């Protein structure tokens, strides 16, 4: 069986990195970590937060977005990421029975690989696929792996569930990342779990 995992919010807790970069780019923000993530989980985009709470113009919001993309995968920010609790043990067990893949929409393959290696995960995966924001996840997978309908796609966003459905595999949404249960349910995944460690699919 093949299992395709999204990276951020699914295997890696990137919330501190994202919150900290937001605070660094929006110097007037006094928002707490919890307040920021409450808004994000309610599906507020940065643009909405900046314009409603900080009176940013459209142009200032776009400038923020440019700075965000330039900075979010720098090693100094990536250093704030942590593996989701218990995930390394889970992956070791799962890799004994299944072929595991990471499919991520990161922009920097080099920095993604170096982070995955620093967590000791490289040898647990058959392949790491990085879309560089130019390819779609399901298209990358299709070219590389022979899919069975009993395979799984695991992710924390609606886009991940849609990728799995486009591939015709089973889908699981995790609540360790960027979306609420109510938000994920609208994409109709086969399963919703708190974290990948709660998956009982292998």
Residue 73 phi, psi (nearest 5)? -110, 15
Stretch of 7-15, 80-88, 179-187, 192-200 contacting Mg ion, by CB under 5 A: 7-15
Q: Does 189 bind Mg ion (CB under 5 A)?
A: no
Q: What is the closest distance, in whole angstroms, from the C-beta atom of residue 4 to Mg ion in the complex?
A: 12
Stretch of 1-9, 15-23, 92-100, 123-131 contacting Mg ion, by CB under 5 A: 1-9
| Cβ closest to Mg ion, residue 9 vs residue 56 | 9
Q: Does 81 bind Mg ion (CB under 5 A)?
A: no
Taking CB under 5 A as the criterion, the residue among 2, 4, 9, 171 binding Mg ion is: 9
Number of residues interacting with Mg ion: please give it, by CB under 5 A. Answer: 4
| Cβ closest to Mg ion, residue 50 vs residue 184 | 184
152-171 positions binding Mg ion, by CB under 5 A: 156
Q: Does 6 bind Mg ion (CB under 5 A)?
A: yes
Q: What is the closest distance, in whole angstroms, from the C-beta atom of residue 155 to Mg ion in the complex?
A: 6
Question: Measured in whole angstroms, how far is the alpha carbon of residue 102 from the centre of its chain?
Answer: 10
Write out the residues near Mg ion by the rule CB under 5 A. 6, 8-9, 156
């Amino acid at each position: 069986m093949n299992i395709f995992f999204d990276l951020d919010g699914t295997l890696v807790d990137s919330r501190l990195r994202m919150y900290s970069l937001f605070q660094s780019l929006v110097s007037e923000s006094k928002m707490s970590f919890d307040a920021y993530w409450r808004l994000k989980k309610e599906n507020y985009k940065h643009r909405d937060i900046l314009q409603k709470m900080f009176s940013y113009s459209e142009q200032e919001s776009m400038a923020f977005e440019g700075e965000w993309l330039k900075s979010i995968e720098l090693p100094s920010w990536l250093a704030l990421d942590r593996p989701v609790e218990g995930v390394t043990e889970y992956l070791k067990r799962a890799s004994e029975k299944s072929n595991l893949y990471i499919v991520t929409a990161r922009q920097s393959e080099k920095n993604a690989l170096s982070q995955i290696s620093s967590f000791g995960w490289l040898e647990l995966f058959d392949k790491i696929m990085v879309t560089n924001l130019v390819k779609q996840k399901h298209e990358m997978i299709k070219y590389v792996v022979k899919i069975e309908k009993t395979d799984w796609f695991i992710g924390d966003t609606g886009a991940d569930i849609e990728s799995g459905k486009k591939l015709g595999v089973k889908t699981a949404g995790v609540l360790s990342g960027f979306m609420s249960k109510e938000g994920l349910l609208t994409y109709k995944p086969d399963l919703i779990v708190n974290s990948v460690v709660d998956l009982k699919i292998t």
